[in-house]
């Protein structure tokens, strides 16, 4: 499916949650949607999933707008942190409701994940712990097999092992059947290796949209003595530099290969650092 975002604007009184944002997500990929608090990520995902209307501009999914369009929303599954399910429903009934709604629902996968996450089908949602409720959201999101699956901080309360399991299963399922997965999170370092393309929002504007591999190849973390590193980064765009005991590490726009040719230690820059740098720079601009 193709998602075209055209001049998308959402205004709450004088506050622009999204301000004339345009981009296209073309085809199945795992997209990382990143940004600081209040950047407009949830607003974008709510408009995309047909839950709220834009103030101006629009989103078209294969040429159709999602708001009030049930046929289209059967292809979109949005899982948010908490607040996904009616509290009085039992787990098995939650699964039933979603299995009716999503035409490509995969019951076998749902059954497998219920076991993986140790959920009791007869428990009511209101009796689940935060982590268990998040697990149920993850189960619904993955089992929906919706061609556009959106996870908005889906794992509040889930421990590190349970999150790792989620990433593994998500990747397995994605490899088995590709779809558009939009993943928004503040735990960027944990999950960034899964991203194929990264979008960064800041104060309602898009500040970066780039293939993750391209980002990894065009930036690097170099370390060595202060003199060596200073000489290498001179004239280059520097993201950040730190000194410790006569040594320096700098995050810089340059390839790992180039840094290594200068005899420096070099590795990739964490996408989280890049996000902080780009959003700070935008603020100060
Ligand atoms: N219903 C609303 N009424 C008024 N303002 C809103 C509403 N929803 C969002 N906003 C404002 O729009 C801006 C963007 O909010 P949004 O929730 O989209 O950001 P976010 O990037 O998802 O943030 P976070 O990472 O903190 O979840 C914020 O300034 C927020 O206060």
Tell me, using a 6 A CB cutoff, whether residue 17 lines ligand 1. Answer: yes
How many domains, the chain?
A: 2
Final residue in a domain of this structure, among 143, 178, 203: 203
Tell me, using a 6 A CB cutoff, whether residue 39 lines ligand 1. Answer: yes
Protein residue closest via CA to atom 30 of ligand 1: 38
Q: Is residue 62 part of a domain?
A: yes
Domain harbouring 96, CATH code: 3.40.50.300
Q: Is residue 96 part of a domain?
A: yes
Q: Which domain holds residue 262?
A: 215-284
% of the chain with per-residue pLDDT over 70: 98
Q: Is 228 in the same domain as 117?
A: no
Residue 43 pLDDT > 70: yes
Give the DSSP letter string of the chain.
-EEEEEEEEEEETTEEEEEEEEEEEESSEEEEEEESTTSSHHHHHHHHTTSS--SEEEEEETTB--TT-HHHHTTEEEEESS--S-TTSBHHHHHHHHHHH-TT--HHHHHHHHHHTT--TTSBGGGS-HHHHHHHHHHHHHHH--SEEEEESTTTT--HHHHHHHHHHHHHHHHHS--EEEEE-S-HHHHGGG-SEEEEEETTEEEEEEEHHHHHHHEEEEEEEHHHHHHHHTTSPEEEEEEETTEEEEEEES-HHHHHHTT-EEEPPPHHHHHHHHHHHHHH-
Q: Is 165 in the same domain as 46?
A: yes
Q: Is 163 in the same domain as 227?
A: no
Give the other-Cβ count within 10 Å of 4's Cβ: 16
Handedness of CA 162, 128, 70, 42 (dihedral sign): negative
pTM: 0.91
How far is 279 from 210, CA to CA, in rounded Å?
A: 15
Q: Is residue 239 part of a domain?
A: yes
Task: Please give the distance, rounded to the nearest whole angstrom, from the Cα atom of residue 17 to the centre of ligand 1.
Answer: 6
Mean pLDDT of 63-89: 92
Q: Is residue 210 part of a domain?
A: no
Q: Is residue 173 part of a domain?
A: yes
Q: Is 34 in the same domain as 78?
A: yes
Task: Please give the distance, rounded to the nearest whole angstrom, from the Cα atom of residue 42 to the centre of ligand 1.
Answer: 7
Q: pLDDT tens across 94-108, in order?
A: 999 999 999 999 999
Q: What is the mean pLDDT of the chain?
A: 93
Q: pLDDT tens across 230-284, in order?
A: 999 999 989 888 898 989 999 999 999 999 998 899 998 888 888 888 888 655 4
How far is 7 from 57, CA to CA, in rounded Å?
A: 5
Task: Please give the distance, rounded to the nearest whole angstrom, from the Cα atom of residue 65 to the centre of ligand 1.
Answer: 22
Protein residue closest via CA to atom 12 of ligand 1: 17
Q: Is 171 in the same domain as 30?
A: yes
- pLDDT at residue 214, as a whole number: 86
Q: Are 139 and 119 in contact (CB under 8 A)?
A: yes
What does each C-alpha distance from 207 to 44, 47, 194, 215, 232 come to in angstroms?
15, 19, 21, 14, 27
Q: Is 272 in the same domain as 154?
A: no
- pLDDT at residue 125, as a whole number: 96
Q: Is residue 208 part of a domain?
A: no
How far is 173 from 127, CA to CA, in rounded Å?
A: 29
Q: Which residues of 275-285 are buried (b: 16+ CB within 10 A; e: fewer)?
A: bebbbeebeee
**For ligand 1, what atom is nearest to the CA of residue 40?**
18
Give the other-Cβ count within 10 Å of 13's Cβ: 5
Residue 148 pLDDT > 70: yes
Q: Is residue 14 part of a domain?
A: yes
Residue 2 pLDDT > 60: yes
Final residue in a domain of this structure, among 141, 176, 203: 203
Q: Is 108 in the same domain as 14?
A: yes
Tell me, using a 6 A CB cutoff, whether residue 199 lines ligand 1. Answer: no
Residue 88 pLDDT > 80: yes
**Probe residue for ligand 1, chosen from 11, 36, 37, 43 as the CB with the greatest number of ligand atoms within 8 Å:** 43
Mean pLDDT of 223-230: 94
Q: Is 154 in the same domain as 131?
A: yes
Q: Is residue 209 part of a domain?
A: no
Domain harbouring 232, CATH code: 3.30.70
Q: pLDDT tens across 17-41, in order?
A: 999 999 999 989 999 999 999 999 9
Tell me, using a 6 A CB cutoff, whether residue 38 lines ligand 1. Answer: yes
- pLDDT at residue 47, as a whole number: 98
- pLDDT at residue 282, as a whole number: 55
Final residue in a domain of this structure, among 182, 203, 224: 203
- pLDDT at residue 270, as a whole number: 87
Q: Is 152 in the same domain as 13?
A: yes
- pLDDT at residue 283, as a whole number: 57
How far is 17 from 77, CA to CA, in rounded Å?
A: 22
Q: Is 51 in the same domain as 141?
A: yes
Joined together, the tokens standing for residue 211 give 């293939």
Q: Is 269 in the same domain as 147?
A: no
Q: Is 155 in the same domain as 259?
A: no
Tell me, using a 6 A CB cutoff, whether residue 34 lines ligand 1. Answer: no
- pLDDT at residue 277, as a whole number: 82
Protein residue closest via CA to atom 25 of ligand 1: 37
Please give the residue that has the higher pLDDT: either 175 or 190. 175
Q: Confirm whether the ipTM is greater than 0.85.
A: yes
Tell me, using a 6 A CB cutoff, whether residue 100 lines ligand 1. Answer: no
């Amino acid at each position: 499916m193709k998602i075209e975002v055209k001049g998308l604007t959402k205004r709450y009184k004088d506050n622009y949650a999204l301000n004339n944002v345009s981009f296209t997500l073309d085809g199945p990929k795992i997209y990382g949607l990143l940004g600081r608090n209040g950047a407009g990520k949830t607003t974008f995902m709510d408009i995309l999933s047909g839950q709220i209307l834009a103030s101006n501009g629009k989103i078209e999914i294969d040429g159709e707008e999602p708001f009030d369009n049930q046929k289209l929303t059967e292809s979109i599954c949005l899982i948010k942190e908490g607040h996904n399910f009616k509290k009085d429903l039992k787990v098995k009934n939650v699964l039933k409701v979603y299995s009716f709604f999503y035409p490509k629902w995969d019951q076998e996968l749902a059954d497998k994940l219920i076991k993986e996450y140790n959920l009791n089908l007869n428990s009511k949602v209101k009796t689940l712990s935060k982590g268990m409720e998040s697990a149920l959201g993850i189960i619904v999101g993955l089992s929906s097999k919706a061609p556009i699956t959106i996870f908005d901080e889906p794992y509040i309360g889930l421990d590190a092992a349970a999150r790792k399991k989620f990433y593994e299963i998500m990747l397995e399922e994605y490899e088995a059947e590709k779809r558009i997965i939009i993943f928004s999170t503040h735990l960027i370092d944990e999950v960034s290796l899964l991203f194929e393309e990264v979008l960064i929002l800041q104060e309602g504007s898009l500040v970066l949209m780039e293939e993750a591999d391209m980002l990894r190849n065009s930036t690097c973390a170099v370390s060595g003595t202060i003199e060596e590193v200073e000489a290498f980064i001179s004239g280059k765009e520097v993201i950040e530099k730190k000194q410790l005991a006569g040594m320096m590490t700098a995050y810089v726009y340059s390839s790992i290969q180039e840094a290594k040719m200068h005899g420096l230690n070099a590795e990739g820059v964490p996408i989280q650092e890049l996000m902080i740098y780009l959003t700070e720079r935008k603020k100060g601009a």
